[in-house]
Amino acid sequence: MSARTSLRLAMAAVAVIAFAAAAAGISARASYGAQLTADEPHYLLTAISLAEDGDLDVRDEFAAQRYRDFHEIDLAPQARPLADGRLVEPHDPLLPLLLAVPMALGGWVAAKLALCLVAAALAALTLWIAVRRLSVPVLPAAVTVGVLGASAPLAAYGAQVYPEIVAALFTATGVAALTGRLGRAGLATVAATAVTLPWLSVKYAPVAAALLAVAAWRLWRDGRRGGVVALAVTGLGGALAFVGLHHLLYDGATPYAAGAHFVDGQLTVVGSDPDYLGRGRRLVGLLVDRDFGIAAWQPAWLLAVPALAAMAARRPRGSAAVAVPLAAGWFTATFVALTMQGWWFPGRQLVVVLPLVVLAVAWWARGGGARLWAVAGLGAVGVLAQAWVAVEAGTGRLAWVVDLQDTANPLYRAWSTLLPDYLEITTATWTLHWLWAAIAAGVAVVAYRRERGATAPRGAHALA
């Protein structure tokens, strides 16, 4: 079997796995009073308005209670009436636009199936990047992408009506272009991805800026000054268009201007009195929080620590394209997001850059052996956890954003006792926090030193 055929078969396999894992959560209830809750019904109401009326105004949708199919109890708008009387929900419009046709054809189930297809495409593309751009053999790439794509939070957000999984696909698309030759087509892809990302949500702007920054750095390094100027003009033009069109659509620079909850200004979306020092604990908490940390639900995410340290030591081709947007996304989730523990499935703020973690772990496990067994073994625990909660939520035993942590999964219940609970700050919380911080730092140092001292494997690419 040729290498190209093996890659295509592996891409198809991980796509099917990711689709199945996401689709398993379609019937899961978000809360006991609603099939979909929090922001989800508001995205779908806007999708209905776009499909039927061609605009973002949801006054008639609320008047007709069009949300009853997926939100059985009463639902209040998140928006306030604008000066011209329109009622526009405070969310960027690209996700509703993408879901307008599925909603028109098959309602909320079709909308979720469309997102499952996005999850499948993301898995296939991530595998392609790992193999073709980072020189990872097909087997370790497929195992890594398969287990992480079939577990939380990627699988969960493949079936929840949020922009997260679409944003993750956009980010991966940009990285696929960045790790290539970056010719005209590649440069256009990076620019289009970066300009488009904020239209899914303005919170993705730092990741978009990071993609542009890496592209500009590569162009400058290669002496392509004209390309840098073109990229800068494109980024600035995209930003101006974003602000200008948002003033027309939302009466402000961001969609939050139309929100009923931001009476003290749009910037209150990051908090009315942010404690940035206190938010610093999220650097570790986003990974190991007992309830909302991604490693609580998929322990294989812990392998990001040695993987990224090893990548920093070896600096393979494409490492900047992986590390810089990932750092931007993690920084945003840490210091900009209002909270990491909200009315949503764990890991929401990180989904946009998690494909980059998958790439780093796949590269780290490229040689097989104990590293690949670690990915497979820990990954299997996370796949089981996702399947378990999907069944529990689908049968009504729990709701994903209400009492997910009450899962009967014995592995999660045992493992989570070793993790800090940042919802209840106690001496035990801080002890576990600093213990995990020390472990992460120690593992990173060891991985970095080992990689620095190792002989480059055959076929590896040094960063020029």
pLDDT digit string (tens) for the chain, length 464 residues: 788 899 999 999 999 999 999 999 999 999 988 999 899 999 999 999 999 999 999 999 999 999 999 999 989 999 899 999 999 999 999 999 999 999 999 999 999 999 999 999 999 999 999 999 999 999 999 999 999 999 999 999 999 999 999 999 999 999 999 999 889 999 999 999 999 999 999 999 999 999 999 999 999 999 999 989 999 999 999 999 999 999 999 999 999 988 877 656 666 677 767 788 888 999 999 999 999 999 999 999 999 999 999 999 999 999 999 999 999 999 999 998 878 888 889 999 999 999 999 999 999 999 999 999 999 999 999 999 999 999 999 898 999 888 899 999 999 999 999 999 998 889 999 999 999 999 999 999 999 999 988 755 444 443 32
Interatomic CA distance for residues 421 and 432, integer angstroms: 9
Residues 6+ apart with CB under 8 A from 81: 87
The whole-number pLDDT of residue 195 equals 96
Three-state SS for 71? coil
Long-range contacts of 51-56 (CB under 8 A, 24+ apart): 51/100, 51/101, 51/103, 51/104, 52/104, 55/86, 56/86, 56/88, 56/89, 56/93, 56/96, 56/249
Closest CA to 25 of 404, 335, 341: 404
Q: Is 459 exposed, middle or buried (0-12, 13-18, 19+ CB in 10 A)?
A: exposed
| Residue 264, pLDDT score | 64
The vertex-27 CA angle with 39 and 96, nearest 5°, equals 35
Query: How is the chain split among helix, strand and coil, in percent rounded to 5?
Result: 70, 0, 30
E strands in 63-175:
none
Contact 102, 114 (CB under 8 A): yes
- With CA atoms as reference, report the closest residue to 22 among 131, 168, 130, 132: 168
The DSSP symbol for 78 reads: S
Who contacts 402 (Cβ-Cβ below 8 Å, separation ≥6)?
30, 31, 32
439-445: long-range pairs with CB below 8 Å, 24+: 440/284, 440/287, 440/305, 443/305, 443/306, 443/309, 444/305, 444/306, 444/308, 444/309, 445/309
Q: What pLDDT does residue 258 have?
A: 87
Count the helices and strands in the chain (H runs, E runs): 19, 0
pTM as predicted: 0.94
pLDDT recorded at residue 262? 67
The residue type found at 321 is A
- pLDDT at residue number 461: 41
